[in-house]
Structure 1
Amino acid sequence: MLKSNFIITPSEPYVYVDGPSDKILTRVLKIALSLSHGNITTLIFHYNLFVSDDQLTYTAERCPRLKRLVMPAWNRIKKTGICKAIRVWEDLESLTMPSISNPPYLIEEIAKNCKKFAELKIMGPCHIYFASTLAAFLPNLKILSIRCSMIYKEALNIVLDDLKELEVLNISHCELIEKPPPSPRRVLRQLDESILEKARRLRKFITCMNDSCITCQRTRYDEGLMRWYKYEADFWKVDEVKSLAI
């Protein structure tokens, strides 16, 4: 799977991708998208492939029938770029994305343009703001995966209370935090009865908070922000929800 040749930088976008690497990606996209004749329905980008705004726009315009997008790295993508792409992808049903600090602009765009949208995977912390945004704009979401991440208890309660149409929720190997800052960080080692009661309405509630589980140990060691590069090459592709696995 294609990856960028990059270095981490201290300021936004926090990565620098060298010119030859960018040119290779552009060339691959041009060849692949030309051969597809607009019929691509699934796009999967490696978590270390840092697509630029121009590359994303080029891709979106040539994949109007896209149904599933897996793109864990958004460092170089601006608000205007992803929103422009979402407007093209009216058939989008599934998205795997990183956690973002200001989710309303994206989630509202999905709600307005992608009427078949049904499943979301967040590869990063699920904050209260993110959960509230999902409840506000995507109340009919069917499948949500937040595995191997940090999630606040209040955010989990919002998901369970307000996503009325939710059928499948995956919080396997998550760090469940009792309260957000400035409260002291307290990791809950098990789900309380109130959460379990709310989750009974779901068709499938997937959890794992086992001290002996290697994946749970990794999440705790990385403090809820998984460093995928430290582990097996295909580890980031795993999901207990079959439709979200790669």
Structure 2
Amino acid sequence: MEEGDSVVRRWEDLDTDILVKIFQSFDIFELTKGIAHVCSSWRLACRDPILWKTLDLSMLKSNFIKIPLEPYVYVGGQSDEILTRLLKISLSLSHGSILTLIFHFNLYVSDEQCPRLRRLVLPAWNRIKKTGICRAVRMWPDLESLTMPSIANPPYIMEEIANNCKNFSVLKVMGLFDKYFATTLTEYLPNLKVLSLRCSMLNRDALLIILDGLPNLEVLNISHCLLVESQPPPAQKRVIKEIDKTILEKASRLREFLTCMEDNCIMCQRTKTDEGLMRWYKYEEGLWKADEASCLAL
């Protein structure tokens, strides 16, 4: 190089740590768009575990319509193609480094394959069959935290978690929560430490079952819940406007008992309007990610 010529450095000559720092500012679409194919140095940086501890797909929604038969949603082919591509490339680049996987509540997936997963946020699984979710749970022995929808038959998934995920301790249920669900939790997950049922219809008897049957529970979030009490037929459920002394006494052993049942609370009003089954699509984008229990907020 002649005197006076400037030194030209190529992008691929950048230190790997610097490349990783730059790539940390990229979203999942940018990371999977082909930068790993630029050169060997970029591919090495793209495979750094720091980039893949959390795979956040909460900005990705399915193009779907509701249908009357199972799985109750029909998802457009393009939505499936985009999701399949993102997951395939992410799983390849991460090389098993993904510990937290987050899906949007309107992203309907059909299968899960992420070994070593510790936290899963999957608010809807209409299209995942029982055999599929059970097979997936068996692949996650390190699973500690799950955000899931309310389902009509919870024992099968809770039993799989109990048998395969020995460190499981944090659960969030988005939807209706009745005595059947509560009894299932106490039977299969007695060591649960954190439970969030926020913005749901919550049966009072179910709440008592939880407080009596989960001796290791430390944090219970029932903020903005529509608390109801069953009445003998033909009467309908009675809405409870205040937490009674019995519940407060049983909850006094908890480290945190998070509640909100205020008439002037906008979230409480929304839960009541939606009859305990939140229509999150009507509200601010990302509102569904909130949680008063800090370990469950996104």
State the TM-score, normalized to the length of structure 2. 0.79
The amino acid of 1:91's aligned partner reads D
Q: Note the 1:1-246 alignment, pairs <5 A.
A: 1-53=59-111, 56=112, 60=113, 63-179=114-230, 182=233, 183-246=235-298
CA distance in 2, matches of 1:138, 1:66: 19
The amino acid of 2:79's aligned partner reads S
Could you list the runs of 5+ residues in structure 2 that have no partner in the other structure?
1-58
Partner of 1:126: helix, strand, or coil? coil
CA distance in 1, matches of 2:249, 2:290: 27
Q: Which 10-residue stretch deviates more, 18-27 or 89-98? A: 18-27
The amino acid of 1:76's aligned partner reads R
Contact 2:231 2:238 in 1 (8 A): no
Contact 1:152 1:180 in 2 (8 A): no
The amino acid of 2:177's aligned partner reads C
The amino acid of 1:31's aligned partner reads I
Deviation at 1:234, TM superposition (A): 1.1
CA distance in 2, matches of 1:224, 1:180: 17
Partner of 2:147: helix, strand, or coil? strand
CA distance in 2, matches of 1:38, 1:126: 34
The amino acid of 2:258's aligned partner reads I
Compared CA separation, residues 180 and 152, structure 1 to 2 (3 A) = farther
Partner of 2:292: helix, strand, or coil? coil
Q: Please list the CA deviations of residues 131-162 of structure 1 after superposition, one character each: whole Å capped at 9, or x if unmatched.
A: 00000000010000000000100000000000
Partner of 1:224: helix, strand, or coil? coil
Deviation at 1:181, TM superposition (A): 7.3
Answer with 1 or 2: which has the greater Rg.
2
Contact 1:177 1:186 in 2 (8 A): yes
CA distance in 2, matches of 1:212, 1:174: 14
Deviation at 1:180, TM superposition (A): 6.4
Runs of 4+ with deviation above 6 angstroms: none
Q: Please list the CA deviations of residues 191-211 of structure 1 after superposition, one character each: whole Å capped at 9, or x if unmatched.
A: 100000000000000000000
Deviation at 1:11, TM superposition (A): 1.4
State the TM-score, normalized to the length of structure 1. 0.95
How well do the aligned residues superpose, as a CA RMSD in angstroms?
Answer: 0.9
Contact 2:227 2:240 in 1 (8 A): yes
Deviation at 1:122, TM superposition (A): 0.2
Contact 2:66 2:74 in 1 (8 A): yes
Deviation at 1:35, TM superposition (A): 0.7
Contact 1:51 1:77 in 2 (8 A): yes
Deviation at 1:65, TM superposition (A): 1.0
CA distance in 2, matches of 1:151, 1:181: 17
CA distance in 2, matches of 1:27, 1:242: 32
Partner of 2:242: helix, strand, or coil? coil
Partner of 1:160: helix, strand, or coil? helix
Q: Which has the higher contact order (CA 8 A, sep 6+)?
A: 1
Contact 1:121 1:146 in 2 (8 A): yes
Q: Please list the CA deviations of residues 213-234 of structure 1 after superposition, one character each: whole Å capped at 9, or x if unmatched.
A: 0000000000000000000001
CA distance in 1, matches of 2:232, 2:118: 37
